């Protein structure tokens, strides 16, 4: 397993106001998930840094994929691996030639958490590599509909909303400029991978679409409610929850990419569904930036 030492320079964060509402990253591990075949999820790709899996992404054309904007924080050498269900093995690795982060992305509360990436060599479509269709601008996914989220089940360091949202430290050792502020991010005795675990196999779970009003009610007190470009999916009883997919990964319903894994409150808690970027809210933006 690749291990890279990241020196995260958080000068600004050392002096930041800790009382502002910051939304936590999704917990990342797909609990209760089933092993997936890449031919059932041919749009799924692994977004990588130095060949280490960082986030999920979804193919939308021969040259473009879509992911979460927060996946680009502190990412020096992005690549994409397509056409494989095994993390870090097989398929084809593409360099990222260009990427576009939504101009209104807010890294504190993850509003407008969407980004586009363009590969340097086109995806070669086959049974294991295919684009996923996009919804129309403003198209709604019915409340209660079932959707499927897929990913490699990377366990992300859980971060309180009162701390700096630190992404892309999964599977890495991290040294902080001001460790006294971030000492509670890791376990008291983390392993060499920062306390993370990986699934070698692509996994998937089924999640139910929540109404916006229900999602707002669940997150209003702690996080100020739901942004118009977000929606919730999961299970009311907890235990199996869409928040457990990889950041940036796809949530699909009716053969279309309806959501992008964005954030969530811990993992699989009752009445704490995963929060997704609503792709239909950004359909015109995607068209403007990519022509897709």
Active site residues: 70, 113, 247
Determine contact, residues 56/154, Cβ cutoff 8 Å. no
**Nearest CA-CA partner of 270 in 233, 239, 244, 242:** 239
Residues in a beta bridge with 115 = 67, 101
Q: The tokens 């041919």 sit on which residue?
A: 42
Residues in a beta bridge with 253 = 256
DSSP one-letter code for 102: -
DSSP line for 139-189? PPPPTT-EEEEEE--PPPPP--TTS----S-TTSEEEESSHHHHTTSS-SS
The tokens of 1 are what? 């397993």
Determine contact, residues 236/179, Cβ cutoff 8 Å. no
Contacts (Cβ under 8 Å, ≥6 apart) of 261? 26, 56, 68, 149, 151, 242, 243, 245, 246, 247, 248, 249, 250, 251, 274, 276
- E-state strands within 172-271: 173-176, 203-209, 230-234, 250-253, 256-263
CA distance 246 to 53: 10
β-strands 115-119, 92-101 pairing: antiparallel
């Amino acid at each position: 397993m690749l291990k890279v030492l990241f020196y995260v320079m958080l000068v600004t964060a050392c002096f930041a106001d800790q009382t502002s509402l910051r939304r936590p990253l999704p917990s990342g591990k797909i609990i209760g998930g089933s092993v997936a075949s890449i031919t059932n999820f041919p749009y799924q790709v692994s977004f990588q840094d130095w060949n280490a899996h960082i986030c999920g992404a979804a193919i939308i054309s021969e040259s473009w994929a879509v992911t979460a904007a927060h996946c680009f924080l502190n990412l020096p050498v992005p690549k994409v691996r397509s056409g494989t269900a095994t993390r870090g093995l097989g398929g084809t690795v593409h360099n990222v030639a260009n990427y576009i982060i939504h101009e209104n992305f807010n890294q504190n509360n993850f509003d407008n958490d969407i980004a586009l990436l363009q590969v340097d060599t086109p995806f070669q479509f086959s049974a294991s590599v295919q684009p996923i269709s996009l919804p129309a601008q403003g198209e709604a996914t019915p409340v209660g509909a079932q959707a499927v989220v897929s990913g490699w089940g990377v366990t992300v360091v859980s971060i309180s909303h009162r701390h700096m949202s630190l992404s892309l430290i999964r599977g890495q050792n991290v040294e902080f400029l001001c460790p006294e502020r971030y000492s509670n991010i890791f376990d008291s005795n983390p392993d060499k991978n920062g306390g993370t675990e990986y699934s070698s196999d692509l996994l998937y779970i089924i999640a139910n679409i929540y109404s916006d009003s229900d999602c707002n009610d669940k997150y209003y007190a702690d996080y100020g409610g739901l942004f118009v470009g977000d929606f919730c999916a999961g299970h009311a009883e907890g235990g199996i929850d869409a928040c457990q997919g990889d950041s940036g990964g796809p949530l699909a319903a009716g053969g279309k990419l309806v959501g992008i894994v964005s954030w969530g409150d811990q993992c699989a808690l009752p009445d704490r569904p995963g929060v997704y970027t609503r792709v239909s809210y950004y359909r015109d933006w995607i068209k403007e930036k990519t022509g897709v």
